[in-house]
Structure 1
Amino acid sequence: MAERDLLGYGGEWPEIVWPNGARLAVSLVVNFEEGAEEQAGDGDAHSERIGEVISVVDPGRRDRGQEQIFAYGLRAGLWRTADALERAALPATIFFCGRAAERSPRLARMLVERGHEAACHGWRWRPHADYDDGAREAADLDRASAAIEAATGERPLGFFCRGAESAWTRRLLAERGYLYTANGFDDDLPYRDAGTGLLVIPYALDTNDMKFFHPNGFVRAVEMVDYVRDALDVLEAEAARGHARLLNIGFHLRIIGRPGRFKAFQAILDELTRRRDRLWIARRIDIARAFARAVPC
């Protein structure tokens, strides 16, 4: 039976007040994956199947339609998303796949120059749990980190991979000086990995636009907006009772960048702006550093 931590803080959460005096921190994440997904046209055994519709192209054949669905994220969706963040003066963390940053360095650098954090999303958009040994994973992690730094001018200190980490991921990150991993879906507050001391800044897949691409998820933009509002209401009430919390809201350029869904992005930014004096809206690297100061090893 695998060893699992099902207790966490056990209802005794650390006393944290975020740097601006709020008890609820909000992390906005934008995923920059386009060009790093599996595509037969790039030499992969098959193309990514999850998109606006499930791909019907046979494995091994080039799926130009799926390539174009991904390309929309950078050709159109990025500009809507980046400009809306700038108008709202809200900071985000960008989860960059290394190969995506290498293919579109001008776009990657533009986002960081606008004040957003460059975090590592692996070399490819794939689960790190798929790696059979630590050496191959380490090589891809180094390749991704170097590509992101070359493209953006910023060395990533945060990490998140699609799906799940391998048995070696956190050790490899700690050895390379990473400050945090976001591959944790199990808490509303950061915590330290017991084995490595690495900070875990939990992420979330419910307040996430990927649910537009899943049958049990959002259909209309308002559904995501309402869901995020409900999450804010619950966590703000807990914060008012003295419990520090973190809310993660995740977006993808090819998903939220489409006109019919972009309305959700804009409405969520408007809602955060309306509540701004009660929240700390921050990049994940800043959340990690604030937590490390508040809850030292």
Structure 2
Amino acid sequence: MLTFDFDAETMWLSRDPLNARRPALLSQGTYGAKVGVPRILELLREQELPATFFVPGWTADRHPDKLLAIVEAGHEVGHHGYDHVWPDLDKPEEEEAEFVRGLEALDRVAGIRPKGYRCPAGETTDRLLPLLMKYGLQYDSSYMDDVFPYVHRMPDGSDGPVELPWSWSLDDVPFTVYSLRNQRPIQTNEHILSIWKAEFREIYRWGGLFDLINHPQAIGRPSRLALLREFIEYVRGFPNVWFATGSEVAAACLAHHHARKAEA
């Protein structure tokens, strides 16, 4: 899976509301919309590959032309909250309101009813799965507990949404963004490629899911786009690799799950 978290300015606004008064800081997110998304769409078109873009409602409202360009290019759009905020463990009403607001924005701007969800910044609560079920989403990509897609089991024993696991090592931000939480060095393309290639080789050997997470404001930089192109070409050197959207992987997982249940 090639996935892109199109956070735009929400990556910075969600960490400190005062960042709204820091235009140079916010411009990192603006770059993702202004330059990153068009260049990524160009690369995907060149490579003839599908992708899933997880888009916060705020981004849909502020950058509707880029959301529509993603849709018109034939890519999947997933739910990514509204303000890209971390849910408060003690405020379930606020969590649901944020969830619903994001759904409403995607529908209002582009007529999208997403099939999948990814939590912002890897932060969620134990209320997430019931919310996904309540609002009819088919899959989630928030958990990091496997390399194979699987079906969640709800407390009553029924099937929940499909999970498409991810890992921080397959996310571009820890390697490429300087001041997200704490100051850290920016890594070279060679360093990032060495990790992604090693992870891919072993996940391929296992027959698992390689869920790559990129952000337009990070991977959309000129040299990082070259990195992504080089990695795609590396992956294409392996036989029988399936490049698929989140909803396609979830559908395949469900079909396998139901077949196993029928055999049991």
Q: How does 1:223-238 map to 2 (within 5 A)?
A: 223-238=191-206
Q: Aligned residue for 1:117?
A: 76
Maintained 8 Å contact 1:88/1:273: no
Match of 2:166, SS state, is coil
Secondary structure in 1 matching 2:153 = coil
1:159 aligned residue (112, 117, 139): 117
Who is 1:213 aligned against? 177
Q: Which amino acid aligns with 2:133?
A: A
Structure 1 residues 253 and 267, CA, compared in 2 at 3 Å: closer, same or farther? same
Contact 1:38 1:125 in 2 (8 A): no
Q: 1:150 to 1:268 in 2, by over 3 A?
A: farther
Counterpart of 2:97 in structure 1: which amino acid? A
Higher relative contact order (CA 8 A, sep 6+): 1
Residue identity matched to 1:227: I
Query: CA offset at residue 101 of structure 1?
Result: 0.8
Query: Residues 186 and 140 of structure 1: is their aligned pair in 2 closer, same or farther, counting only changes over 3 Å?
Result: same
| Separation (CA, whole Å) in 1 of partners of 2:165 and 2:225 | 25
Work out whether residues 151 and 254 of structure 2, in 8 Å CA contact, stay in contact via their aligned partners in 1: no
- Aligned equivalent of 1:58: none
Q: Which has the higher helix share?
A: 2
Aligned residue type for 1:295 = H
Give the C-alpha shift of residue 46 in structure 1.
Answer: 3.0
Match of residue 18, structure 2, among 30, 38, 46: 46
For 1:24-62, what per-residue CA distance to the aligned partner results, in whole angstroms no more than 9, with x for missing partners? xxx11111111334539xxx6432xxxxxxxxxxxxx81
Tell me if 1:222 matches 2:190. yes
> Aligned with 1:228: secondary structure?
helix
- Residue 247 of structure 1 aligns to a residue whose secondary structure is coil
Distance 1:272 1:154, change over 3 A: farther
Kindly, what percent of the aligned residue pairs are identical?
24
1:284 corresponding residue in structure 2: 246
Per-residue deviation, residues 56-112 of structure 1 (Å, max 9, x unmatched): xxxxx8111111111111111112111001110111110101110111111101112
**Unmatched tracts of structure 1, length 5 or more:** 1-26, 48-60, 240-244
Q: Could you say what secondary structure the match of 1:288 adopts?
A: helix
Aligned to 1:132: 90
Q: Do the aligned residues in 1 keep the contact of 2:52 with 2:75 (CA within 8 Å)?
A: yes
Measured after TM superposition, the shift of residue 177 of structure 1 is: 0.4
The 2-side partners of 1:249 and 1:183 are apart by 13
Matched residue count: 248
SS of match in other structure, 1:82: helix
CA contact 1:160–1:182 (8 Å) conserved in 2: yes
1:131 Cα offset (Å): 5.0
Which amino acid in the other structure matches residue 83 of structure 2? R
Residues 1:269 and 2:232 are matched in the alignment: yes
TM-score by length of 2: 0.87
Give the C-alpha shift of residue 199 in structure 1.
1.7
Whether the 8 Å CA contact 2:57–2:82 is kept in 1: the answer is yes
What SS does the aligned partner of 1:34 have? coil
TM-score computed with the length of structure 1 as normaliser: 0.77
The offset of 1:160, in angstroms, is 0.8
Residue 134 of structure 1: CA displacement?
A: 2.1
Cα distance in structure 2, aligned partners of 1:270 and 1:186 = 28
> Contact conserved, 1:35 with 1:103, CA < 8 A, in 2?
no
